């Protein structure tokens, strides 16, 4: 099966599951994140990363409400492992860093921390809380800092109940153009 069909299959099987403690589905969240990236004129790789940033939630079998049980599902690492078979670092690194970017923004922008949704504030604790000053410094040296922070901001906004978006096929047209040559 090619990667595009695999992605479609994952969304049709698991995309209807609830997105964390929010009132939307995983697929609605993914499409909204990708749409915000597209509207910001992001590259095809960053639109793809935005669409697939939570694919880790679709490849594990933990319940949607794992954080309620004190479980950090480590979905960013699972997602990266899955994506690295088909995509380069310009897709996988922003995905890997999207949780660290939240911890980073909590450390450097006090307003960001207080504006987190209740579900996001709950998972922050499981993810290790705001980054320490040393961690902030090392995060800022990442060549993917900007992409990861942009993705994070779209991720945070991609929770609008009932918002119409272009469909999955629309965004997969970007994904097709950025699959690694070796695959």
Cα dist. 61→17, 56, 66 in Å?
A: 11, 10, 10
Residues that bind Fe ion (CB under 5 A): 54, 155
Q: Which two tokens stand for residue 140?
A: 């800022």
CB of 30 to Fe ion, least distance (A): 8
C-beta of 138 vs 157, nearer to Fe ion:
157
If one counts every other C-beta atom within 10 angstroms of the C-beta of residue 70, the result is 9
For 132, half-sphere exposure in the C-beta direction (CA atoms, 13 angstrom radius) is 3
List, in sequence order, the alpha helices (H) in the chain: 3-14, 26-39, 44-52, 55-59, 75-83, 89-108, 110-115, 118-126, 133-140, 145-157, 168-178
CB of 151 to Fe ion, least distance (A): 9
C-beta of 107 vs 151, nearer to Fe ion:
151
C-beta of 44 vs 99, nearer to Fe ion:
99
C-beta of 2 vs 74, nearer to Fe ion:
74
Q: Which two tokens stand for residue 155?
A: 């991720």
CB of 116 to Fe ion, least distance (A): 13
CB of 152 to Fe ion, least distance (A): 9
């Amino acid at each position: 099966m090619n990667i595009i069909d695999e992605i479609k299959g994952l969304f049709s099987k698991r995309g209807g599951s609830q997105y964390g403690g929010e009132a939307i589905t995983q697929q609605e969240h993914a499409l909204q994140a990708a749409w915000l990236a597209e509207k910001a004129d992001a590259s095809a790789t960053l639109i793809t990363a935005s669409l697939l940033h939570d694919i880790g939630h679709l490849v594990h079998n933990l319940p949607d409400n794992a954080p309620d049980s004190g479980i950090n599902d480590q979905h960013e690492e699972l997602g990266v492992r899955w994506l690295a078979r088909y995509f380069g670092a310009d897709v996988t690194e922003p995905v890997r860093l999207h949780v660290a970017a939240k911890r980073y923004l909590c450390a450097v922008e006090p307003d960001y921390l207080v504006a987190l949704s209740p579900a996001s504030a709950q998972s922050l604790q499981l993810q290790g809380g705001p980054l320490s000053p040393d961690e902030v410094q090392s995060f800022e040296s990442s060549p993917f800092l900007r992409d990861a922070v942009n993705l994070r901001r779209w991720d945070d906004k991609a929770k609008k109940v009932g918002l119409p978006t272009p469909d999955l096929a629309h965004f997969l047209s970007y994904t097709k153009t950025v699959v690694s040559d070796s695959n």
